[in-house]
Amino acid sequence: MKILLHPSYFPNIAMFSALSQHELQWEVQDNYQKQTYRNRCYICNDRGKHILSIPIKHVGGQEGRQKYKDVLIENDYEWQRQHWRTLQTAYRTSPFFEFYEDEFAPLFEKKQQFLMDFNLKTIEIICDCLQLEISNQRTALYQAQPIELLDARFLIKRKQNLGVTFDAYNQVFGDRHGFIPNISVLDLLFNEGTNALSYLKSQPTEFLDRV
């Protein structure tokens, strides 16, 4: 069955396992919510699990909530430079970082405007690196209970227990921190390279049955 997902910033292993094993449709009509993977992801560096967070322009006062697709990125702060330097420092010794870095570098060289559009760009580039074709279908309206779609939108939430165990793979700092599961798919790509897609297609997605 086709699944319904939110676009997130460099999605984690759970999200990419789900979209690599199912047809999908993107949820683009929802309201923005704080403290989710919409504007953040986790990687692994020499200190362990590390967050990368995109600053956004918050809407307050009488305007209240805003659509996720309308959320603007705050570019007064040089977050792109910081994120790219952090990725370089964390993964420059990984087996495949140099192989893929030219694909990702342009994302951090030009200022971005809308958060959702930028997230979709990150996903598109990852899929190109994985040689994975996915649908670009998008919702035309918001439905609290989608019809004929498996609702996987809960995966955008940051704090949750999916109840599955992902297979361990080699990580740059694994000897220091042990295996850190379900972080950004970037970690998998830079460490496993051409094996990444096979890994994603073999991971459990029983968490989708919870809906």
pLDDT tens readout for residues 133-154: 988 899 999 999 998 899 999 9
Give the tens place of pLDDT for each residue, 49-97.
999 999 999 776 555 589 999 999 999 989 999 999 999 999 999 999 9
Q: Does the pTM of the predicted model rise above 0.85? A: yes
Please say if the pLDDT value at position 185 is more than 60: yes
In percent, the amount of the chain with pLDDT more than 90 equals 89
Domain boundaries, the chain: 3-210
For the residues of 108-135, what is the DSSP string, one character each? GTS---BHHHHHHHHHHHHHHHHT----
- Has residue 210 got a pLDDT over 70? no
Residue appearing with tokens 């042990």:
178
User: For 167-176, b where at least 16 C-beta lie within 10 A, e where not — what string?
Assistant: eebebbbeee
